[in-house]
Structure 1
Protein backbone atom coordinates (compact mmCIF):
# COMPACT_ATOMS: atom_id res chain seq x y z
CA UNK A 1 0.00 0.00 0.00
CA UNK A 2 1.35 3.41 -0.97
CA UNK A 3 0.23 6.27 1.26
CA UNK A 4 0.18 9.97 0.51
CA UNK A 5 1.06 12.42 3.27
CA UNK A 6 0.52 15.98 2.09
CA UNK A 7 2.05 15.83 -1.40
CA UNK A 8 4.61 13.17 -0.42
CA UNK A 9 4.09 9.51 -1.34
CA UNK A 10 5.39 6.93 1.14
CA UNK A 11 5.41 3.15 1.44
CA UNK A 12 6.16 1.05 4.54
CA UNK A 13 9.46 -0.81 4.64
CA UNK A 14 7.74 -4.17 5.17
CA UNK A 15 5.88 -3.74 1.89
CA UNK A 16 9.14 -2.91 0.09
CA UNK A 17 10.68 -6.04 1.64
CA UNK A 18 7.78 -8.12 0.34
CA UNK A 19 8.08 -6.56 -3.14
CA UNK A 20 11.77 -7.42 -3.19
CA UNK A 21 11.12 -11.00 -2.07
CA UNK A 22 12.71 -10.72 1.37
CA UNK A 23 11.36 -13.15 3.94
CA UNK A 24 11.69 -10.77 6.91
CA UNK A 25 11.05 -7.04 7.25
CA UNK A 26 14.02 -6.91 9.64
CA UNK A 27 16.30 -7.53 6.63
CA UNK A 28 15.16 -4.38 4.83
CA UNK A 29 15.49 -2.39 8.05
CA UNK A 30 19.12 -3.50 8.40
CA UNK A 31 19.74 -2.41 4.79
CA UNK A 32 18.09 0.94 5.51
CA UNK A 33 20.26 1.50 8.58
CA UNK A 34 23.45 0.55 6.69
CA UNK A 35 22.58 3.00 3.91
CA UNK A 36 20.92 5.72 5.97
CA UNK A 37 23.19 8.55 4.75
CA UNK A 38 22.53 7.85 1.07
CA UNK A 39 18.79 7.38 1.61
CA UNK A 40 18.60 10.71 3.47
CA UNK A 41 20.12 12.39 0.40
CA UNK A 42 16.78 11.65 -1.30
CA UNK A 43 14.49 13.01 1.39
CA UNK A 44 13.51 12.60 4.99
CA UNK A 45 13.96 9.02 6.18
CA UNK A 46 10.74 8.80 8.13
CA UNK A 47 10.93 6.45 11.12
CA UNK A 48 7.71 5.53 12.92
CA UNK A 49 7.06 3.69 16.17
CA UNK A 50 4.12 1.29 16.06
CA UNK A 51 2.63 -0.38 19.13
CA UNK A 52 3.27 -4.12 19.35
CA UNK A 53 -0.01 -5.16 20.89
CA UNK A 54 -0.91 -6.56 24.29
CA UNK A 55 2.40 -8.19 25.18
CA UNK A 56 3.77 -4.98 26.63
CA UNK A 57 6.90 -5.27 24.51
CA UNK A 58 8.78 -2.32 23.08
CA UNK A 59 7.05 -0.69 20.12
CA UNK A 60 8.30 -1.80 16.73
CA UNK A 61 10.03 0.80 14.60
CA UNK A 62 9.54 0.90 10.86
CA UNK A 63 10.34 3.26 8.02
CA UNK A 64 8.09 4.96 5.48
CA UNK A 65 10.03 5.48 2.25
CA UNK A 66 9.56 7.78 -0.69
CA UNK A 67 9.87 6.50 -4.30
CA UNK A 68 13.50 7.60 -4.65
CA UNK A 69 14.45 5.74 -1.48
CA UNK A 70 12.67 2.63 -2.72
CA UNK A 71 14.64 2.85 -5.95
CA UNK A 72 17.93 3.10 -4.01
CA UNK A 73 17.01 0.04 -1.92
CA UNK A 74 16.01 -1.90 -5.04
CA UNK A 75 19.32 -0.97 -6.67
CA UNK A 76 21.27 -2.15 -3.62
CA UNK A 77 19.27 -5.33 -3.15
CA UNK A 78 20.22 -8.78 -4.35
CA UNK A 79 16.81 -10.15 -3.30
CA UNK A 80 15.06 -12.39 -5.79
CA UNK A 81 12.47 -9.84 -6.98
CA UNK A 82 14.76 -6.79 -6.98
CA UNK A 83 15.18 -6.74 -10.79
CA UNK A 84 11.40 -6.67 -11.27
CA UNK A 85 10.99 -3.89 -8.69
CA UNK A 86 13.70 -1.84 -10.42
CA UNK A 87 12.01 -2.35 -13.79
CA UNK A 88 8.60 -1.32 -12.41
CA UNK A 89 10.04 1.83 -10.84
CA UNK A 90 11.88 2.77 -14.01
CA UNK A 91 8.74 2.23 -16.12
CA UNK A 92 6.78 4.39 -13.69
CA UNK A 93 9.39 7.14 -13.92
CA UNK A 94 9.40 6.97 -17.71
CA UNK A 95 5.62 7.25 -17.75
CA UNK A 96 5.66 10.30 -15.47
CA UNK A 97 8.37 11.95 -17.57
CA UNK A 98 6.11 11.57 -20.60
CA UNK A 99 3.62 13.94 -18.97
CA UNK A 100 3.96 17.42 -20.34
CA UNK A 101 4.03 20.00 -17.58
CA UNK A 102 3.64 23.73 -18.14
CA UNK A 103 6.93 25.65 -17.99
CA UNK A 104 5.97 27.33 -14.73
CA UNK A 105 4.87 24.08 -13.04
CA UNK A 106 6.45 23.47 -9.67
CA UNK A 107 8.01 20.05 -9.13
CA UNK A 108 7.78 18.56 -5.67
CA UNK A 109 11.37 18.82 -4.32
CA UNK A 110 11.10 15.34 -2.79
CA UNK A 111 11.39 13.98 -6.35
CA UNK A 112 14.28 16.25 -7.36
CA UNK A 113 17.79 14.82 -7.47
CA UNK A 114 19.89 15.78 -4.45
CA UNK A 115 22.51 18.44 -4.99
CA UNK A 116 25.99 17.09 -4.30
CA UNK A 117 28.96 19.43 -3.83
Structure 2
Protein backbone atom coordinates (compact mmCIF):
# COMPACT_ATOMS: atom_id res chain seq x y z
CA UNK A 1 0.00 0.00 0.00
CA UNK A 2 1.57 3.31 -1.03
CA UNK A 3 0.48 6.92 -0.73
CA UNK A 4 1.75 9.98 -2.56
CA UNK A 5 3.17 12.94 -0.67
CA UNK A 6 0.76 15.47 -2.19
CA UNK A 7 -0.87 17.77 0.36
CA UNK A 8 -4.63 17.76 0.93
CA UNK A 9 -6.53 20.67 -0.49
CA UNK A 10 -9.01 21.85 -3.09
CA UNK A 11 -8.23 22.41 -6.72
CA UNK A 12 -6.91 19.85 -9.17
CA UNK A 13 -6.72 16.16 -8.41
CA UNK A 14 -2.93 16.37 -8.36
CA UNK A 15 -3.10 18.51 -5.19
CA UNK A 16 -4.93 15.85 -3.17
CA UNK A 17 -3.23 13.14 -1.23
CA UNK A 18 -4.01 9.80 -2.83
CA UNK A 19 -6.21 7.40 -0.91
CA UNK A 20 -4.63 4.15 0.18
CA UNK A 21 -5.97 1.25 -1.86
CA UNK A 22 -6.40 -2.18 -0.32
CA UNK A 23 -6.99 -5.29 -2.40
CA UNK A 24 -10.17 -6.97 -1.18
CA UNK A 25 -12.21 -9.62 -2.96
CA UNK A 26 -9.71 -9.59 -5.80
CA UNK A 27 -9.89 -5.89 -6.66
CA UNK A 28 -8.54 -2.59 -5.31
CA UNK A 29 -10.84 -0.72 -2.94
CA UNK A 30 -10.77 2.62 -1.13
CA UNK A 31 -11.95 3.13 2.44
CA UNK A 32 -15.03 5.29 2.91
CA UNK A 33 -13.50 7.49 5.62
CA UNK A 34 -10.47 8.32 3.46
CA UNK A 35 -12.73 9.42 0.61
CA UNK A 36 -14.71 11.53 3.09
CA UNK A 37 -11.48 13.19 4.25
CA UNK A 38 -10.52 14.09 0.68
CA UNK A 39 -14.03 15.41 0.04
CA UNK A 40 -13.72 17.65 3.10
CA UNK A 41 -16.86 16.44 4.87
CA UNK A 42 -17.22 17.97 8.33
CA UNK A 43 -18.52 14.69 9.78
CA UNK A 44 -16.53 11.95 8.11
CA UNK A 45 -18.94 9.16 9.06
CA UNK A 46 -21.75 10.95 7.21
CA UNK A 47 -20.37 9.29 4.08
CA UNK A 48 -21.74 5.97 5.35
CA UNK A 49 -25.24 7.39 5.50
CA UNK A 50 -24.74 8.68 1.95
CA UNK A 51 -23.66 5.19 0.86
CA UNK A 52 -26.68 3.58 2.54
CA UNK A 53 -29.07 6.05 0.88
CA UNK A 54 -27.60 5.26 -2.54
CA UNK A 55 -26.93 1.57 -1.97
CA UNK A 56 -29.08 0.41 -4.91
CA UNK A 57 -27.26 2.57 -7.46
CA UNK A 58 -23.84 1.75 -6.00
CA UNK A 59 -24.54 -1.98 -6.16
CA UNK A 60 -25.03 -1.76 -9.92
CA UNK A 61 -21.19 -1.60 -9.97
CA UNK A 62 -20.76 -4.57 -7.68
CA UNK A 63 -21.60 -5.73 -4.18
CA UNK A 64 -20.77 -3.27 -1.43
CA UNK A 65 -17.88 -4.58 0.62
CA UNK A 66 -18.44 -3.93 4.31
CA UNK A 67 -15.98 -4.86 7.04
CA UNK A 68 -15.72 -4.42 10.77
CA UNK A 69 -13.57 -1.54 11.99
CA UNK A 70 -12.20 -0.64 15.40
CA UNK A 71 -15.14 -0.20 17.83
CA UNK A 72 -16.03 3.28 19.11
CA UNK A 73 -16.45 4.07 22.80
CA UNK A 74 -18.99 6.79 23.52
CA UNK A 75 -18.75 9.39 26.27
CA UNK A 76 -21.00 7.21 28.44
CA UNK A 77 -18.60 4.32 28.18
CA UNK A 78 -20.67 2.37 25.69
CA UNK A 79 -18.83 0.46 23.00
CA UNK A 80 -20.36 0.46 19.52
CA UNK A 81 -19.46 -1.91 16.72
CA UNK A 82 -18.45 -0.09 13.55
CA UNK A 83 -18.83 -1.26 9.97
CA UNK A 84 -16.94 0.55 7.23
CA UNK A 85 -17.33 0.40 3.46
CA UNK A 86 -14.53 -0.32 1.03
CA UNK A 87 -15.54 0.94 -2.42
CA UNK A 88 -14.31 -0.22 -5.79
CA UNK A 89 -13.30 2.28 -8.45
CA UNK A 90 -16.76 2.91 -9.92
CA UNK A 91 -18.41 3.10 -6.50
CA UNK A 92 -15.78 5.53 -5.20
CA UNK A 93 -16.20 7.82 -8.21
CA UNK A 94 -20.01 7.70 -7.92
CA UNK A 95 -20.05 8.50 -4.20
CA UNK A 96 -17.69 11.43 -4.83
CA UNK A 97 -20.19 12.76 -7.40
CA UNK A 98 -23.24 12.17 -5.17
CA UNK A 99 -21.57 13.94 -2.24
CA UNK A 100 -21.82 17.31 -4.03
CA UNK A 101 -18.77 18.41 -2.06
CA UNK A 102 -17.04 21.56 -3.36
CA UNK A 103 -13.90 19.63 -4.25
CA UNK A 104 -15.70 16.53 -5.58
CA UNK A 105 -14.20 17.02 -9.04
CA UNK A 106 -10.67 17.09 -7.58
CA UNK A 107 -11.41 13.93 -5.61
CA UNK A 108 -12.69 12.17 -8.73
CA UNK A 109 -9.49 13.15 -10.58
CA UNK A 110 -7.40 11.83 -7.68
CA UNK A 111 -9.37 8.57 -7.58
CA UNK A 112 -9.00 8.04 -11.32
CA UNK A 113 -5.25 8.68 -11.10
CA UNK A 114 -4.87 6.31 -8.13
CA UNK A 115 -6.84 3.41 -9.60
CA UNK A 116 -5.11 3.81 -12.98
CA UNK A 117 -1.73 3.66 -11.20
CA UNK A 118 -2.82 0.42 -9.59
CA UNK A 119 -3.87 -1.10 -12.94
CA UNK A 120 -0.52 -0.13 -14.42
CA UNK A 121 1.32 -1.78 -11.55
CA UNK A 122 2.62 1.44 -10.04
CA UNK A 123 1.06 0.75 -6.64
CA UNK A 124 1.98 -2.13 -4.34
CA UNK A 125 -1.15 -3.21 -2.50
CA UNK A 126 -1.27 -5.41 0.57
CA UNK A 127 -3.52 -8.25 -0.57
CA UNK A 128 -6.02 -9.74 1.85
CA UNK A 129 -5.01 -13.13 3.19
CA UNK A 130 -6.76 -16.23 1.94
CA UNK A 131 -6.71 -18.30 5.14
CA UNK A 132 -7.65 -21.48 3.29
CA UNK A 133 -4.68 -21.03 0.98
CA UNK A 134 -2.44 -20.22 3.93
CA UNK A 135 -3.73 -23.30 5.71
CA UNK A 136 -2.87 -25.43 2.70
CA UNK A 137 0.59 -23.92 2.45
CA UNK A 138 1.20 -24.41 6.16
CA UNK A 139 0.16 -28.05 5.91
CA UNK A 140 2.59 -28.52 3.05
CA UNK A 141 5.40 -26.78 4.94
CA UNK A 142 4.70 -28.74 8.11
CA UNK A 143 4.54 -32.01 6.21
CA UNK A 144 7.92 -31.26 4.63
CA UNK A 145 9.46 -30.25 7.94
CA UNK A 146 8.05 -33.28 9.73
CA UNK A 147 9.36 -35.48 6.95
CA UNK A 148 12.81 -34.09 7.66
CA UNK A 149 12.52 -33.90 11.44
CA UNK A 150 10.90 -37.22 12.28
CA UNK A 151 13.78 -39.43 11.10
CA UNK A 152 16.16 -37.25 13.09
CA UNK A 153 13.89 -37.46 16.16
CA UNK A 154 13.73 -41.23 15.80
CA UNK A 155 17.51 -41.42 15.55
CA UNK A 156 17.86 -39.27 18.66
CA UNK A 157 15.36 -41.41 20.53
CA UNK A 158 17.17 -44.58 19.52
CA UNK A 159 20.45 -43.02 20.57
CA UNK A 160 18.91 -42.08 23.90
CA UNK A 161 17.71 -45.64 24.40
CA UNK A 162 21.17 -46.92 23.52
CA UNK A 163 22.73 -44.54 25.98
CA UNK A 164 20.33 -45.68 28.67
CA UNK A 165 21.59 -49.27 28.50
CA UNK A 166 25.10 -48.24 29.48
CA UNK A 167 23.86 -47.41 32.94
CA UNK A 168 25.22 -50.79 33.95
CA UNK A 169 28.59 -52.45 34.20
CA UNK A 170 30.65 -54.36 31.69
CA UNK A 171 32.51 -57.59 32.38
CA UNK A 172 35.74 -55.61 32.57
CA UNK A 173 34.25 -53.35 35.21
CA UNK A 174 33.10 -56.37 37.21
CA UNK A 175 36.68 -57.64 37.11
CA UNK A 176 37.80 -54.29 38.53
CA UNK A 177 35.12 -54.58 41.22
CA UNK A 178 36.69 -57.96 42.13
CA UNK A 179 40.08 -56.29 42.56
CA UNK A 180 41.57 -57.17 39.16
CA UNK A 181 42.05 -53.68 37.72
CA UNK A 182 45.39 -54.63 36.22
CA UNK A 183 44.83 -57.70 34.08
CA UNK A 184 48.29 -58.45 32.66
CA UNK A 185 48.48 -62.09 31.75
CA UNK A 186 44.71 -62.47 32.11
CA UNK A 187 43.72 -62.21 28.47
CA UNK A 188 40.30 -63.68 27.84
CA UNK A 189 39.07 -63.13 31.40
CA UNK A 190 36.38 -60.60 30.40
CA UNK A 191 34.53 -63.04 28.06
CA UNK A 192 34.81 -65.71 30.75
CA UNK A 193 33.24 -63.37 33.36
CA UNK A 194 30.63 -62.21 30.85
CA UNK A 195 29.49 -65.80 30.27
CA UNK A 196 29.02 -66.41 34.00
CA UNK A 197 27.28 -63.08 34.55
CA UNK A 198 24.76 -63.80 31.77
CA UNK A 199 24.00 -67.15 33.33
CA UNK A 200 23.60 -65.59 36.77
CA UNK A 201 21.30 -62.85 35.41
CA UNK A 202 19.14 -65.53 33.79
CA UNK A 203 18.86 -67.34 37.12
CA UNK A 204 17.77 -64.12 38.83
CA UNK A 205 15.40 -63.13 36.03
CA UNK A 206 17.42 -59.96 35.38
CA UNK A 207 17.81 -58.39 31.94
CA UNK A 208 21.16 -58.28 30.18
CA UNK A 209 21.41 -55.42 27.68
CA UNK A 210 23.66 -54.62 24.78
CA UNK A 211 25.61 -51.38 24.42
CA UNK A 212 27.24 -50.06 21.26
CA UNK A 213 30.60 -48.34 21.20
CA UNK A 214 31.44 -47.44 17.64
CA UNK A 215 31.18 -50.60 15.56
CA UNK A 216 31.57 -52.96 18.53
CA UNK A 217 28.96 -54.18 20.99
CA UNK A 218 29.24 -55.47 24.53
CA UNK A 219 26.97 -56.91 27.18
CA UNK A 220 25.98 -54.58 30.01
CA UNK A 221 24.95 -56.04 33.34
CA UNK A 222 22.80 -54.81 36.18
CA UNK A 223 25.22 -53.43 38.82
CA UNK A 224 23.26 -54.87 41.76
CA UNK A 225 23.00 -58.32 40.17
CA UNK A 226 26.71 -58.22 39.25
CA UNK A 227 27.64 -57.35 42.85
CA UNK A 228 25.42 -60.16 44.13
CA UNK A 229 27.23 -62.58 41.84
CA UNK A 230 30.59 -61.46 43.24
CA UNK A 231 29.34 -61.88 46.81
CA UNK A 232 27.87 -65.30 46.12
CA UNK A 233 31.13 -66.81 44.87
CA UNK A 234 31.94 -64.88 41.75
CA UNK A 235 34.85 -63.05 43.34
CA UNK A 236 36.37 -66.36 44.47
CA UNK A 237 35.87 -67.83 40.99
CA UNK A 238 37.65 -64.82 39.45
CA UNK A 239 40.59 -65.09 41.84
CA UNK A 240 40.91 -68.85 41.17
CA UNK A 241 40.75 -68.33 37.40
CA UNK A 242 43.26 -65.46 37.53
CA UNK A 243 45.76 -67.54 39.49
CA UNK A 244 45.31 -70.40 37.05
CA UNK A 245 45.94 -68.11 34.09
CA UNK A 246 49.09 -66.72 35.66
CA UNK A 247 50.47 -70.22 36.24
CA UNK A 248 50.34 -69.96 39.98
CA UNK A 249 49.80 -73.02 42.13
CA UNK A 250 46.24 -72.93 43.31
CA UNK A 251 44.08 -75.12 45.43
CA UNK A 252 41.08 -76.76 43.81
CA UNK A 253 38.24 -74.29 43.76
CA UNK A 254 35.29 -75.26 45.90
CA UNK A 255 32.21 -72.99 45.95
CA UNK A 256 31.29 -72.23 49.52
CA UNK A 257 27.56 -72.26 50.03
CA UNK A 258 26.25 -68.94 51.28
CA UNK A 259 24.84 -69.17 54.80
User: TM-score under structure 2 normalisation?
Assistant: 0.34
Structure number having the greater helix percentage: 2
2:79 equivalent to 1:57: yes
Question: How large is the RMSD of aligned CA atoms in angstroms?
Answer: 2.5
How is 1:12-91 mapped onto 2 (pairs within 5 angstroms)?
Answer: 12-52=31-71, 55=77, 57-90=79-112
Q: Which runs of 5+ in 1 are unaligned?
A: 100-117
Q: Alpha-carbon deviation of 1:25?
A: 2.1
Per-residue deviation, residues 31-76 of structure 1 (Å, max 9, x unmatched): 1011000101101101122231675512111111111100111121
SS at match of 1:11: strand
Q: Distance in 2 between matches of 1:32 and 1:90?
A: 19
Q: Distance in 2 between matches of 1:59 and 1:94?
A: 33
Select the structure with the greater relative contact order (CA < 8 A; seq sep ≥ 6).
1
Query: Which has the greater radius of gyration?
Result: 2
2:30 equivalent to 1:11: yes
State the partner residue of 1:2: 21
Q: Alpha-carbon deviation of 1:80?
A: 2.3
Q: 1:52 to 1:80 in 2, by over 3 A?
A: same
User: TM-score under structure 1 normalisation?
Assistant: 0.69
Q: Distance in 2 between matches of 1:12 and 1:94?
A: 17
Q: Which runs of 5+ in 2 are unaligned?
A: 1-19, 121-259
How many residues in Structure 1 have an aligned counterpart in Structure 2?
98
